Structure 1
């Protein structure tokens, strides 16, 4: 990772979060960000870190958000491609995240403090509405995944029961 002092041509304005946010406010937010360049396969966030993080605007590249499930295994939660953002839920809840984020490709990422991000949400209803829609979408997807998981579990139980009944 390296700080990105020269960010000519780089902008977070393409993020859906900023749709409906006046260009002057987006420019002001960009000025308050710390800009970073990451190589592929670098950690942006490590869940064991005691460092407090802000909100990240993925301007270029792709990242994977994952959660360790054991000392050797990780569960991929989502892959994000620019333009997108992450860390916003931790900023709103004011809690440390439990997931890690690693770059899949070279990335440019702008980081803003949680406090400044919350000020954005307070000042810009469009940004707050975007975040609310994102939460609703995640909840709906979790519900669908739960239904698929339950259906798969039921199918496995049925197959196992049938196999047991057919065995000599």
Structure 2
């Protein structure tokens, strides 16, 4: 697998690596395709501490409360690194990691990862930036949970999803949008609450269902809707 055949965001783990670090890392990993809804990592697992790298796909890190409610923590996409916590501190896994769609993922052993981190300053700095990014995103989610209602969090999550897919156009069609249950896990709400708010958004004309796809006629109008609904 050649690097020039792949495209990763410049802010992702793999996107930040130098060619030298990429060559060393990719010479060690094994690559596998994980089908949608397949578990890469199980929470509290003490036996597997491999580190994963998303070549192409989408992986969701999630946990379950004592009451059985699913809470999505982070979503990983092309170029992202998963599972580095346990590889570094040798503690049990802190969450599940589930493929949201068919995904191509590379993996290396924790021993290999620790050797690379110790000997390669470029990779170590990239890892540091990754961990800081995780902390910032999770801090924002904690603040949002305490400061915003579930409906506000849902509107923000949908706008964020749409803006990432929009490109240069104002109209967006998302072929495989998250289900209402998945959105509920992201914003820590119930599927019924998500369904009600999405119904209001459809009535406002800012969000439409086209078979299994999600159509946003105008990102600008969706953004105005979200801003106008904010207190």
TM-score (structure 1 length as normaliser): 0.72
Indicate the SS of the match to 2:68: coil
Would you tell me which structure has more helix in proportion to its own residues?
2
Q: State whether structure 2 residue 47 is matched by structure 1 residue 51.
A: yes
Match of 1:22 in 2: 19
Contact 2:73 2:138 in 1 (8 A): no
In 2, the alpha carbon distance for the partners of 1:34 and 1:133 equals 24
Select between 35-44 and 124-133 the one with higher mean Cα deviation: 124-133
Distance 1:20 1:78, change over 3 A: closer
Match of 1:72 in 2: 68
In 1, the alpha carbon distance for the partners of 2:99 and 2:74 equals 12
Distance 1:37 1:148, change over 3 A: closer
**Which ranges of structure 1 fall in alignment gaps of 5 or more residues?**
1-7, 154-168
Match of 2:109 in 1: 113
Match of 2:147 in 1: 151
**Which ranges of structure 2 fall in alignment gaps of 5 or more residues?**
150-231
Runs of 4+ in 1 over 3 A off after TM superposition: 8-16, 140-153
Aligned residues, how many? 145
Indicate the SS of the match to 1:32: coil
In 2, the alpha carbon distance for the partners of 1:77 and 1:129 equals 23
Indicate the SS of the match to 2:132: helix
Q: Max radius of gyration: which structure?
A: 1
Q: Which of structures 1 and 2 has the larger relative contact order (alpha carbons within 8 angstroms, sep 6+)?
A: 1
RMSD (Å) for aligned C-alpha atoms: 2.7
* CA positional deviation for 1:41: 0.9
